[in-house]
Structure 1
Amino acid sequence: MPAKSKAQQKAAGAALAAKRGETPKGDLREPSKQMYDSMTEKELEELAATKRKGKPEHKG
């Protein structure tokens, strides 16, 4: 499942870092917190690995 926007890709990357213990969960903002709680590490990897070229900044 590729990310639909740059913002979604960035949020997934932040949630993935927290899930791996690289950053504290308390530093996450709301979209990333929701992803952290509801998605597996594999799902987050797929979203975070999406290429940003050609993606809108925000899904609108």
Structure 2
Amino acid sequence: MPAKSKSQQKAAGAALSAKRGDTKKSELQGASRSMYESMSEKELDDMASTKRKGKPEHASSS
């Protein structure tokens, strides 16, 4: 599942870092914390590795 925005991609990257043990889970907040708890490492890797070109900073709420 590719990221729909740059901010979603950044949150996935932070959650992935915590899953791999590079950062502490306690440092996560908001979307990255819920992604950490609800997604597998493979899903996070897929979302974090999405190309950024053409992505909005935030996804539209539609």
The TM-score with structure 2 as length reference comes to 0.95
Q: What is the alpha-carbon distance in structure 2 between the residues aligned to residue 2 and residue 21 of structure 1?
A: 23
Deviation at 1:17, TM superposition (A): 0.1
The runs of 5 or more residues in structure 1 that have no matched partner are none
User: Percent same amino acid at aligned positions?
Assistant: 68
Q: What is the alpha-carbon distance in structure 2 between the residues aligned to residue 40 and residue 17 of structure 1?
A: 12
Q: What is the alpha-carbon distance in structure 2 between the residues aligned to residue 36 and residue 57 of structure 1?
A: 21
Partner of 1:37: 37
Residue deviations 1:4-59 (CA, integer Å, cap 9, x gap): 00000000000000000000001111100000000000000000000111000000
The runs of 5 or more residues in structure 2 that have no matched partner are none
- Runs of 4 or more, structure 1, over 2 Å off, are none
Count of matched residue pairs: 60
